[in-house]
Amino acid sequence: MTDRYAVIGHPIAHSKSPRIHAAFAAETGQDLSYEALLAPLDDFAGTWRRFVAAGGRGANVTVPFKEEAWRLCDVRSPRAEQAGAVNTLSVDADGRVRGDNTDGVGLVRDIADNAGWPLVGRRVLLLGAGGAARGVVGPLLAAGAGEVLIANRTADKAVALAALFGSAGAAPLPVSGLALAALAESAAAMPCDVIINATSASLQGERLGLADGWFHGATAVYDMMYGAETPFLAWAREAGLQQRRDGLGMLVEQAAEAFFIWRQVRPRTDAVMAALRANLPS
């Protein structure tokens, strides 16, 4: 019997997840179907429960439902607890709902494995302190980043997120927060090796409103948004940074991790990434 999976979001028609998981299933010989489900903004839980009642085994969750998905879980992975958000739901044999968050591991794999940018011992600047950022701080630290600096328009939110992770272990972790406006001074004093944009600025066609020059000292930049060239990556190119990467690989790698959670089989990702890249608008 074919196992059913889905991605749930609002909006959802743009999602590449059905194509990605169909390719994973074909490559690994797994008997499954995968569909996109549009959930009403006020009824994510109902959409999920109806899907499960109809035989659904698991689902990816996208905006704006990741925090709501976290709340409906019976069991959460440590990385989901850290993130305060769930993007991968599974149903146990006993009917319990399990939640995980694969965003951070997807980012780290794309940066460290696909791009070949070292993270161990490096100073990482993470732009933004919202849900996207919260899901990747833990995995970046676990990957060996020497320091994670979180910068946000509102400094208090960045400081609060840094404190959450900085106090999570037996010893303080190298994570701190500051205001976006303070970046130029910080970059001059202690340059970051890798800069990651976890804000929605590229989606909105913005450049964060920062003065030129704050990229000082960086060797690589990454935008969680993807496209031919996001505004953030165009800005980095104009600043002379040679190593630039968008978030398409993160999208595929986090999907591969979800596929592994559901099927205990890890698919290859390179062919899927190449096919998606070939179809992006120029």
Active site residue 123: no
Ligand-binding annotation for 246, yes or no, is no
DSSP the chain: --EEEEEEESS-TT--HHHHHHHHHHHHT--EEEEEEEPPTT-HHHHHHHHHHTTEEEEEE-TT-HHHHHHH-SEE-HHHHHHT--SEEEE-TTS-EEEE--HHHHHHHIIIIIS----BT-EEEEE--SHHHHHHHHHHHHTTBSEEEEEESSHHHHHHHHHHHHTSSSS--SEEEEEGGGHHHHHHHS--SEEEE-SSTTTTT--TTPPTTTTTT-SEEEESS-SSS-HHHHHHHHTT--EEE-THHHHHHHHHHHHHHHHS-----HHHHHHHHHTS--
Total residue length of the chain: 282
CA distance 88 to 72: 12
Ordered per-residue pLDDT tens for the chain, 282 residues: 899 999 999 999 989 999 999 999 999 999 999 999 999 999 999 999 999 999 999 999 998 999 999 999 999 999 999 889 999 999 999 999 999 999 999 999 999 999 999 999 999 999 999 888 989 999 999 999 999 999 999 999 999 999 988 765 545 679 999 998 888 776 656 788 999 999 987 777 777 777 777 788 899 999 999 887 899 999 999 989 999 999 999 999 999 999 999 999 999 999 999 999 998 876
CATH 1.10.357.10 fits 118-242, yes or no: no
pTM for the structure as a whole: 0.93
Ligand-binding annotation for 156, yes or no, is yes
Among 66, 109, 123, 263, the active-site one is 66
Domain ranges of the chain: 3-102+253-268, 118-242
- The answer to whether domain 3-102+253-268 and domain 118-242 are alike in fold is yes
Question: Hey, which CATH number is domain 3-102+253-268, 3.40.1080.20, 3.40.630.10, 3.40.50.10860, 3.20.20.120?
Answer: 3.40.50.10860
Ligand-binding annotation for 219, yes or no, is no
Ligand-binding annotation for 157, yes or no, is yes
